[in-house]
Structure 1
């Protein structure tokens, strides 16, 4: 079977996640509870320097923490990814005042951090243009700020109780795009109702629209989005890969717990799959730890694609070993994990987008 996660969550939050995993996936009533549960376990502080309020460690530790949560509930892990990725943005931001003002509340789970940079990551890879636009207001440049407009159709962790959302904006007057932290209560900022998802329904996933919102430089995460995005992309995708790693491990563990006859029927498929999962996970953690993905993003794309394939196969084999019991609700989570696994290929950047990027990369390299 696959290696045991390097970071395990405490028994109490793990039990809460196991108890409510089905409800978190299928309903929205517990959406407000996820952040406090994860924060209470100190999970958002993993990989954050102690002098910034964290528990030290590295981004690799945070990836493994997300994987551990994903083994209990992909909905909670998805929220964790959004929160921890936004924290990563603040850790890399040159705007020290913004970090000092908001990082403590994010680490405590008092405020949600929403990573609205999926559009920006696709922009960085020339997949789509930016959907948000900033216009410099007249007056003293140090205080006048910008008028912000645009819409992002899908952002997770837009907690109704309060959030900051990161989004990239092109500048009408020219210059590189920049990234702002958008407060939920700014005039001109509107959150839609929760999207009608088929699963992960407690993830506070909604659309965000800006209509004439005004923010000054104190809300700017970076004035150079392309350079910033290239630096944080390994963490963005690496933390996201924790979703796949944790879900695949949980499916393989369920197979291991099946009857001897069921295990024997799939053994020839499970063993190489477990080895592939371990190999991809090592490549992921090594690349993030040593910074090699900064110069070779294609290698990170390949890992993300490979992990998605492993998740798909692992969950299908879990269905085979579970038999009819797995098709019943509240019977070990097999049915829920099939729904969770269906989300892995489409979370941005999607597998289709990454495969197209790799094809273009190979064509360019060949030329």
Structure 2
């Protein structure tokens, strides 16, 4: 599909399946499942006949455009794409030939429970799930405090320890026997992200659901993509805040001259981060840019905070009305700060 046509189609999907539901998503924990499915059915998750660099650029753009209107929905797309990134790296024929087409078509949606893996390999957290070898697969026990983008017909990706020397990556459907989900909707934002605590009681994972039996080698391959795809969450929210500031700036140019930071400074900073992000996406060897990606992920978390706080100042009293888009973006920015890897973790890693 031509890029211009893709952009038109994506905007149509956003207008029809996302914009009318943003307040419900933010205020009533409404999960935008129809929107995600529509994005998939529009062909935006497929990687067929595309270079991996083109896939990355398109998927970053999808997250960015969605985040302009609703970071919750953009985050659920990130969850699905994070799972896709894992599936695409698997050497398991069943995953490649059977599961991957279902996820790329949008017929089946997925979340990712790899936060624990990222923290474990950074030396920040113990492994929460244990695996035992059994006939035809593994049994998994333990718990994950938060996994997002889950519904009764979804799948997700997990990380578990087999022994001191081996860790594995698997996928499983939400309705598998032995898995209990506990809904989490007490956040200041992102309640529409379909986030659950997950409790595993000897959950059986057949071999055909195993993404990799060598997690120590697998995680460094997928980690740069997971971090890279978080950056457009902040780019989209920041762009929306800047556009809001621009509208108000016209009305009170003289008074706004006194506010710091100035609008032009925010625009320039965001453009630098955005250009850098797409440059990484076009790099053939994403792993070689791992450190730079983490630094940019740190930059966008800090910049998004700066931009949305500026929007609060520029917007004045209307920003403090219940249900205002400005206040929603402020809350969304704090999610980005605490999304693993958090600012604290990034400062440690970088």
On whether the aligned pair clears a TM of 0.5, the verdict is yes
CA distance in 2, matches of 1:151, 1:339: 27
5+ residue gaps in structure 2?
A: 1-5
Partner SS for 2:229: helix
Alignment pair present for 1:347 and 2:339: yes
In structure 2, the partner of 1:182 is 172
Of stretches 264-273 and 121-130 in structure 1, the one that deviates more from structure 2 is: 264-273
Is the 2:72–2:193 contact (alpha carbons within 8 Å) kept by the matching residues of 1?
A: yes
Deviations 1:35-61 (A, max 9, x none): 22433443323xx2338xx99932122
Structure 1 residues 259 and 16 mapped into 2: Cα distance closer, same or farther (>3 Å)?
Answer: farther
Is the 2:139–2:203 contact (alpha carbons within 8 Å) kept by the matching residues of 1?
A: yes
Structure 1 residues 330 and 55 mapped into 2: Cα distance closer, same or farther (>3 Å)?
Answer: farther
Is the 2:54–2:282 contact (alpha carbons within 8 Å) kept by the matching residues of 1?
A: no
Is the 1:38–1:80 contact (alpha carbons within 8 Å) kept by the matching residues of 2?
A: no
Is the 2:29–2:185 contact (alpha carbons within 8 Å) kept by the matching residues of 1?
A: no
Structure 1 residues 92 and 7 mapped into 2: Cα distance closer, same or farther (>3 Å)?
Answer: farther
In structure 2, the partner of 1:209 is 199
Is the 1:50–1:56 contact (alpha carbons within 8 Å) kept by the matching residues of 2?
A: no
CA distance in 2, matches of 1:87, 1:202: 21
Structure 1 residues 119 and 271 mapped into 2: Cα distance closer, same or farther (>3 Å)?
Answer: same
In structure 2, the partner of 1:307 is 300
Structure 1 residues 218 and 16 mapped into 2: Cα distance closer, same or farther (>3 Å)?
Answer: closer
Which of residues 243, 246, 255 in structure 1 aligns to 2:245?
255
Is the 1:14–1:72 contact (alpha carbons within 8 Å) kept by the matching residues of 2?
A: no
In structure 1, the partner of 2:120 is 123
CA distance in 2, matches of 1:231, 1:30: 30
TM-score by length of 2: 0.90
Deviations 1:217-275 (A, max 9, x none): 11100111121111111110111111011111111111111142545514862212221
Deviations 1:103-133 (A, max 9, x none): 2322333322111101101112222121111
Which of residues 64, 69, 88 in structure 2 aligns to 1:67?
64
Map 1:8-157; keep pairs closer than 5 Å.
9-45=10-46, 48-50=47-49, 57-137=54-134, 143=136, 145-157=137-149
Is the 1:7–1:64 contact (alpha carbons within 8 Å) kept by the matching residues of 2?
A: no
In structure 1, the partner of 2:3 is none
CA distance in 2, matches of 1:109, 1:295: 31
Is the 2:66–2:74 contact (alpha carbons within 8 Å) kept by the matching residues of 1?
A: yes
In structure 2, the partner of 1:362 is none
Aligned residues: 341
Structure 1 residues 249 and 200 mapped into 2: Cα distance closer, same or farther (>3 Å)?
Answer: same
Is the 2:53–2:283 contact (alpha carbons within 8 Å) kept by the matching residues of 1?
A: no
TM-score by length of 1: 0.86
In structure 2, the partner of 1:191 is 181
CA distance in 2, matches of 1:203, 1:237: 18
Which of residues 260, 266, 279 in structure 1 aligns to 2:272?
279
